[in-house]
Structure 1
């Protein structure tokens, strides 16, 4: 009999694996609905939806292995990273989905959230003030007008699966919707700056690398508190705090 493996769990959601089936349990039923809708619309490889009975979504496992993991060197080939860039470009060129996603927050909303999180990091002694200030200055380059595209919204490197040099699937679409294209490219390469050139080459369009780097700082500053409060370690080698330190 297949074992039940706990993939990830926190107060908002949990994912279990039983053989080749993943069961996602989410307190926010609307988030699961977004995921199902996005996978149906996305013109890129996605997991097969086996069934959806709120608050549970059952999906089939994707073949291959993750492109990489935050905090670890990626063993995937440059061609695989370029293929990831090309796949993201195909998504961004698709017709817009009906919803605004995580990557679609407005400039004013992001600026306000950045101010709150930076103040929390310094006031609570989580990070040194100079580290926060430097990254906040860098992050502000992401606060600019952008044209909406179909974004994944949480395109972490371990959400992209490869086999050889090809992309077999992209998972975890609960944050998908209209958003900033460079947000997706930044999240994909967060903690893997040496792979940015391969991704951009596969993406095949002129992109502002300074804005991608700004999103690295923005994402890390905004995520540290959430990670700490949900039992994750942003101070682990190669993770969010190291990303922030690399900007000094």
Structure 2
């Protein structure tokens, strides 16, 4: 019998692996609905949905391996990173999705959320004030109007699989919707700044990509993530993770 592997588990959701089957258990049925809808619409390889029985979604494993993980060494050739960039561009060029209950992010609301989180980070002593202040300044460049695109919404490096120089699957679509294309690019390259040029080479030189905005999203995403990660059993202070990303902006 195959071993049951806990891939991720916290109070909101858990993912288990049994052989080549992943079981996703989510307390929020809307997230599962969005994930299934998004995978059906996305013009890139996605996992096969095997069955659904709320609150569980069963999907098949995708072939290949990831290009690395946040806090770990990056793998893959420049061509593999470029192939990932090309797949991301294909997603962003697709027709805008109409996903159940998922509207685009509001810039003003995001700014309010960010400022409130920065206050908590400093007041709690979780991060030094100067580190928070500097990254809040960097993050400001992301808080501008953007043309909505079909975005993955949580395009961590561990969510993109490749085999050689070919993208074989993109997983975890529960945050998909209409968003800022540069947020996806920033999330994918978070902690792996050395591969940003490779990704952009595949994404296309004709795209309107401002590296300053990508840097801003690195800061913004990290500021919003640190406390949540700490409270849910993860460690953003590990080498190469979110706090190091914030320190790199100093």
Taking structure 1 as the reference length, the TM-score comes to 0.98
Aligned mates of 1:183, 1:103 — CA distance in 2: 16
Aligned mates of 1:64, 1:108 — CA distance in 2: 40
Partner residue, 1:178: 178
What is the CA-CA distance between 1:53 and the residue it aligns to? Answer: 1.1
Partner residue, 1:228: 230
Aligned residues: 248
Aligned mates of 2:242, 2:102 — CA distance in 1: 18
Moved over 6 A (4+): 100-103
What is the CA-CA distance between 1:227 and the residue it aligns to? Answer: 0.3
Q: Is 2:8 aligned against 1:8? A: yes
Structure 2: segments with no counterpart, 5+ residues: none
Aligned mates of 1:199, 1:134 — CA distance in 2: 26
> Per the alignment, in what secondary structure is the counterpart of residue 75 of structure 1?
coil
Structure 1: segments with no counterpart, 5+ residues: none
Change (3 A) 1:201 1:105: same
What is the CA-CA distance between 1:99 and the residue it aligns to? Answer: 3.3
Aligned mates of 2:172, 2:8 — CA distance in 1: 12
Partner residue, 1:158: 158
Change (3 A) 1:38 1:18: same
C-alpha distance after superposition, 1:122-170 (max 9, x if no partner): 0011111000000000001000010001000000000000111110000
Aligned mates of 2:102, 2:224 — CA distance in 1: 13
Of residues 30-39 and 71-80 in structure 1, the stretch that sits farther from structure 2 once superposed is: 71-80
Partner residue, 1:144: 144
Q: Is 2:247 aligned against 1:245? A: yes
Partner residue, 1:207: 209
Aligned mates of 1:101, 1:17 — CA distance in 2: 28
Q: Is the 8 A contact 1:85 1:203 kept in 2?
A: yes
Partner residue, 1:111: 111
Partner residue, 1:191: 191
Q: Is the 8 A contact 2:34 2:100 kept in 1?
A: no
Query: How do 1:29-178 and structure 2 match up within 5 A?
Result: 29-99=29-99, 104-178=104-178
What is the CA-CA distance between 1:103 and the residue it aligns to? Answer: 9.4
What is the CA-CA distance between 1:102 and the residue it aligns to? Answer: 8.0
